[in-house]
């Protein structure tokens, strides 16, 4: 299978919960961690780089990689729009003697946790409320009324999975949430 196996820290949350912001803040504090770059079939957004933000694949190439068994987990998040974690990311990061951080959707996070139950910490970042989530998503200025409704419907479903995570952190105060995450991840990485 794979060489050395390290630990895995999984972050999942509904879109707009602040998960990516928290991960970006915590990563520099924990040099043992390396970010697992996800793959997606969605279009690249301005400022994004292939291999840094995501591995951008066509929907066809994504389906071929799924058929070949190249994914640890994947999800067709919206019709024809896939997101997933390539197994090669684990190999790449563990070969550098680092532990892996995932910023993945809720179902993907639970799938990774199921495959590595003892060596992973699954953290669910929760918005203070669905109303606050709606406000944050509207504030991004990237949502149409249709995509906003889709994201909020999806968020309601994703919130129901929160109890299956090892740790839930409510992001109502970013500084406190970052401190809680840093403390929990540090303790997890130090435990043998």
pLDDT of residue 1: 43
- Name the nearest CA neighbour of 5 among 119, 122, 87, 123: 119
Report the distance separating Cα 89 and Cα 59, nearest Å.
19
pLDDT of residue 4: 64
Report the distance separating Cα 145 and Cα 138, nearest Å.
9
Report the distance separating Cα 181 and Cα 165, nearest Å.
14
Task: Give SS3 for 66.
Answer: helix
pLDDT of residue 150: 87
pLDDT digits (tens, 9 = 90+) for 41-86: 999 999 999 999 899 999 999 999 999 999 999 988 778 899 999 9
pLDDT of residue 147: 87
Per the structure block, which two tokens stand in for 15?
């879109």
Q: Which residue stretches of the chain have pLDDT < 50?
A: 1-2
CB atoms within 10 A of CB 110: 19
Q: Residues with Cβ < 8 Å from 127, sequence gap 6 or more?
A: 13, 14, 16, 17, 18, 133, 136, 155, 170, 171
Do 177 and 185 form a contact (C-beta atoms < 8 A)?
A: no
Angle between helices 19-26 and 174-190 (to 10 degrees): 60
pLDDT of residue 69: 97
Angle between helices 145-159 and 130-140 (to 10 degrees): 140
- Spacing of C-alpha 41 from chain mean position: 16
Alpha-carbon Rg of the chain, whole angstroms?
A: 16
pTM of the model: 0.88
Report the distance separating Cα 61 and Cα 67, nearest Å.
10
Residue 21 CB-density burial (10 A; 0-12 exposed, 13-18 middle, 19+ buried): middle
Give the start-to-end residue ranges of the domains of the chain.
8-190
Q: Which CATH code, of 3.40.50.620, 1.20.1440.130, 3.30.70.20, 3.40.50.300, is assigned to 8-190?
A: 3.40.50.300
Tally of residues, the chain: 192
């Amino acid at each position: 299978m794979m060489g050395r196996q390290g630990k895995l820290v999984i972050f999942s949350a509904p879109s707009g919960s602040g998960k990516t912001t928290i991960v970006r803040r915590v990563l520099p504090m924990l040099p043992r961690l390396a970010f697992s770059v996800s793959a997606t079939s969605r279009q690249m957004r301005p400022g994004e780089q292939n291999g840094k933000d995501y591995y951008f694949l066509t929907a066809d190439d994504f389906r071929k990689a799924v058929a070949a068994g190249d994914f640890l987990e994947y999800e067709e998040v919206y019709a024809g729009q896939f997101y997933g974690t390539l197994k090669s990311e684990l190999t790449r990061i563990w070969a550098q003697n680092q532990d892996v951080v995932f910023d993945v959707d809720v179902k993907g996070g639970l799938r990774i946790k199921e495959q590595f139950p003892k060596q992973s910490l699954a953290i669910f970042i929760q918005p203070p409320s669905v109303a606050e989530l709606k406000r944050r998503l509207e504030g991004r200025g990237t949502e149409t009324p249709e995509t906003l409704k889709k994201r909020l419907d999806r968020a309601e479903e994703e919130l129901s999975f929160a109890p299956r995570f090892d740790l839930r952190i409510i992001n109502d105060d970013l500084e406190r949430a970052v401190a809680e995450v840093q403390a929990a991840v540090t303790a997890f990485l130090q435990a043998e």
